[in-house]
Amino acid sequence: MSKLPEDLKYTKSHEWVRTLADGTLEIGITDHAQHALGDLVFVEVPEAGRSVKAGEACAVVESVKAASDVYAPISGEVTAGNARLAQEPEAVNTDAYGAGWLWRLRPESGAVAAAALLSAADYQQVLDAEGG
Amino acid sequence: MGRQTPLFRLHQELGARLVDFGGWDMPVQYGSQIGEHHAVRRAAGVFDVSHMCVIDLTGAAARPFLERLLANDVGRLRAPGRALYSCLLNDAGGILDDLIVYYLGEEFFRLVVNAGTRDRDLAWIRSHAHDFGVAVHERTDLAMLAVQGPEARAKAAQLLSPADAATALGLAVFSAGELGPWFVARTGYTGEDGFEIMMPAADAVAAWRSLNSLGVASCGLGARDTLRLEAGMNLYGNDMDEGTQPFESALGWTVALQPAGRDFIGRRALEPLAASGSPRKLVGLILEDRGVLRGHQKVIVAGSGEGEITSGTFSPTLERSIAFARVPAATAGEVQVDIRGKLLRARLVKPPFVRFGRALVT
């Protein structure tokens, strides 16, 4: 498995979070998660303006085999869904930490601290414990 | 840990992702499932189907026994080597399994049944074979490889001696030949040409490696499922089971009600349905909106009620979602499917969706 980007934060449920220059967050699923899902053929992302709560299912990624929910790691208001994935769901497979981002979010006050996100090293331990 | 086929270690070596399938540890994919699908549509792929159960039936009354046991009529099998697809029914007409029967001699037939139903099938077959004095022998000594795709037969023939290769390449569709210890059948579950080859377990790893070296792609059960769905072929346990009968499972064509005197198991339950028509039917669906149809999603039919998806997937060939659904008999045209609370449009189509590499629906 490839090395985890150090500049991202992670969740135990295999999402990643990137802090953008304007303070909004970009969220996707990890390379481990896309690999476990297999070839993605359909991705549904939340629309801008939607308010999401941490732990809420807010995107769906479907491989040939199965549909899986992606949970919001942090509460806030969606500022954008990645529209490109409607035509190119495979971008999540080929570039999980880049072009395959799922949605962007303006976090609620205090929501980032409450989320208790993992560092790359801590997430690596989660993967090691799973045998990944 | 489930049961393992003779190819288990090779699958691990080839980097397969292994999953439980009917109590067996089976490869679901080696790399890209869609890549494996396309390999079969465009060239050739090999599947390990050794988990399926091969049952040899021998005895003077083997044919009368099968005329009683099976819903399709083995009386149609006259030339040795010919194969027939049939349902195995219970007394209520419910489907216990679907299978292929090969006619190998007047006192020798071979069945291939599903892995997940192995024990129940064996018990059922043995309980009825007793009265006919037919011996039931489960062939756990065999491995089975399915080599499928437009280039499959030519590639697989290269594993054989020139004389056996000529025999194999001369096999008609749905026919088989015993070539030394190998049993080569021109059958499959993908909608492509190809062979299913039963062989001594000890031959399987070398055969697989040889096929790989000839450019035949290793393919897992994931691709097998998308290929069979595109090909319009049912999967036991998804599209039909003990609680459904052939006429509501798009399998009416496999129920031989002629000759009228053949008293097969399930016949008495099915005859009234054959006369009155089944209240439900199994149809093909193609999704018009974006999304993926999946088993157990609800189908809403304007004016006639509701149905349910039995198998659904993304079709790599059509690049759209396709499915089978059991719906009220009057259903026609367009339906709606409830996918996570949204009602999406789907259209009824007559399977197969894809055959011999070509899309048959638009």
CA-closest candidate to residue B223, choices B77, B30, B94: B30
Question: CATH number for the domain including B37?
Answer: 3.30.1360.120
Q: Confidence class of residue B136 from pLDDT cuts 50, 70 and 90?
A: very high
- Same structural domain, B162 and B41: yes
- Residue A40 CA, chain-centre distance (Å), reads 14
DSSP β-bridge partners for residue B29? B17
- Same structural domain, B29 and B163: yes
Q: Which two tokens stand for residue B83?
A: 């194969």
Per the listing, tokens 């060939």 go with B317
Q: How many helices (H) and strands (E) does chain B have?
A: 9, 21
pLDDT in tens, B93-112: 999 999 999 999 999 999 99
Work out the average pLDDT over B325-347: 97
Note the pLDDT of residue A116.
87
- Same structural domain, B148 and B220: yes
Note the pLDDT of residue A131.
74
Residue B336 has pLDDT above 70, yes or no: yes
Among B209, B230, B251, the domain boundary falls at B230
The Cα-based distances of B263 to B73, B194, B267 in angstroms read: 11, 35, 6
- Residue B165 inside a domain? The answer is yes
- Give the distance from residue A86's alpha carbon to the nearest chain B alpha carbon, in angstroms: 9
- Residue B305 inside a domain? The answer is yes
- Residue B296 inside a domain? The answer is yes
Note the pLDDT of residue A2.
65
Question: CATH number for the domain including B312?
Answer: 2.40.30.110
In angstroms, the first-to-last Cα distance of chain A is 8
Number of folded domains that form chain A: 1
Nearest-angstrom CA–CA distance, A29 and B302:
39
Work out the average pLDDT over B7-15: 98
DSSP type of residue B263: -
Give which of B229, B313, B319, B320 to mutate to test A binding, by max A Cβ within 10 Å: B313
A 87-126 → B contacts, CB under 8 A: none
Nearest-angstrom CA–CA distance, B214 and B124:
41
Residue type, A85: L
Contact B33 A60 (CB under 8 A): no
pLDDT in tens, B217-231: 999 999 999 999 999
Work out the average pLDDT over B42-48: 98
Q: By the 8 A CB rule, do A70 and A58 touch?
A: yes
pLDDT in tens, A85-105: 999 999 999 999 999 999 999
Residue B326 has pLDDT above 90, yes or no: yes
Sort out which chain A residues have CB atoms less than 8 A from B32's CB and list them: 38-39
Minimal-distance CA residue of chain A relative to B35? A39
Q: By the 8 A CB rule, do B190 and B231 touch?
A: yes
Residue B1 has pLDDT above 80, yes or no: no
- Same structural domain, B216 and B292: no
B 165-224 → A contacts, CB under 8 A: 222
- Residue B86 inside a domain? The answer is no
Work out the average pLDDT over B244-254: 98
Sort out which chain B residues have CB atoms less than 8 A from A63's CB and list them: 33
Structural domain for A21, as ranges: 9-104
Nearest-angstrom CA–CA distance, B337 and B300:
6
Q: What percent of chain B is modeled with pLDDT above 70? A: 100
DSSP type of residue B351: S
Sort out which chain A residues have CB atoms less than 8 A from B292's CB and list them: 41-42, 62, 67
- Same structural domain, B355 and B219: no
Work out the average pLDDT over B290-299: 97
Q: Which two tokens stand for residue A84?
A: 């490109």
- Same structural domain, B159 and B24: yes
- Residue A23 inside a domain? The answer is yes
- Residue A49 inside a domain? The answer is yes
Minimal-distance CA residue of chain B relative to A34? B32
Contact A65 B316 (CB under 8 A): no
- Residue A118 inside a domain? The answer is no
Q: By the 8 A CB rule, do B324 and B229 touch?
A: yes
Asked if B232 has any chain A CB less than 8 Å from its own CB, the reply is: no
Residue B9 has pLDDT above 80, yes or no: yes
Note the pLDDT of residue B362.
80
Average pLDDT, chain B: 97
Work out the average pLDDT over B106-120: 97
Asked if B313 has any chain A CB less than 8 Å from its own CB, the reply is: yes
Q: What percent of chain B is modeled with pLDDT above 90? A: 98
A 13-42 → B contacts, CB under 8 A: 38-39, 41-42
| Among the partner residues B222, B290, B340, nearest to A64 by beta-carbon distance | B222
pLDDT in tens, B235-248: 999 999 999 999 99
Asked if B78 has any chain A CB less than 8 Å from its own CB, the reply is: no
Among B230, B262, B291, the domain boundary falls at B230
Q: What value of ipTM does the predicted structure carry?
A: 0.82
- Residue A4 inside a domain? The answer is no
- Residue A125 inside a domain? The answer is no
Note the pLDDT of residue B221.
97
Work out the average pLDDT over B132-142: 98
- Residue B211 inside a domain? The answer is yes
B188 three-state secondary structure? coil
B 233-292 → A contacts, CB under 8 A: 290-292
Question: Could you please report the per-residue DSSP string of A28-61?
Answer: EE-HHHHHHH-SEEEEE-PPTT-EE-TT-EEEEE
Note the pLDDT of residue A1.
53
Structural domain for B333, as ranges: 279-359
Question: pTM of the prediction?
Answer: 0.93
CA-closest candidate to residue B146, choices B80, B208, B226: B208
Q: By the 8 A CB rule, do B76 and B33 touch?
A: no
- Same structural domain, B27 and B172: yes
Q: By the 8 A CB rule, do B311 and B229 touch?
A: yes
Q: By the 8 A CB rule, do A88 and A10 touch?
A: no
DSSP type of residue A62: E
Residue B325, number of CB atoms within 10 A of its CB? 28
Give which of A37, A39, A47, A93 to mutate to test B binding, by max B Cβ within 10 Å: A39
Among B230, B249, B269, the domain boundary falls at B230
Contact A42 B313 (CB under 8 A): no
- Residue A72 inside a domain? The answer is yes
Q: Confidence class of residue B32 from pLDDT cuts 50, 70 and 90?
A: very high
Sort out which chain A residues have CB atoms less than 8 A from B314's CB and list them: 41-42, 62, 64
Number of folded domains that form chain B: 2
Question: CATH number for the domain including A77?
Answer: 2.40.50.100
Q: Which residues contact B239 (CB under 8 A, 6 or more apart)?
A: B249, B250, B282, B310, B311, B324
Under 8 Å CB pairs connecting chains A and B tally to 35
- Residue A77 inside a domain? The answer is yes
Kindly give the parts of chain A with pLDDT less than 70.
Answer: 1-2, 132
Helix pair B33-42, B221-230: axis angle to 10 deg: 50
- Residue A127 inside a domain? The answer is no
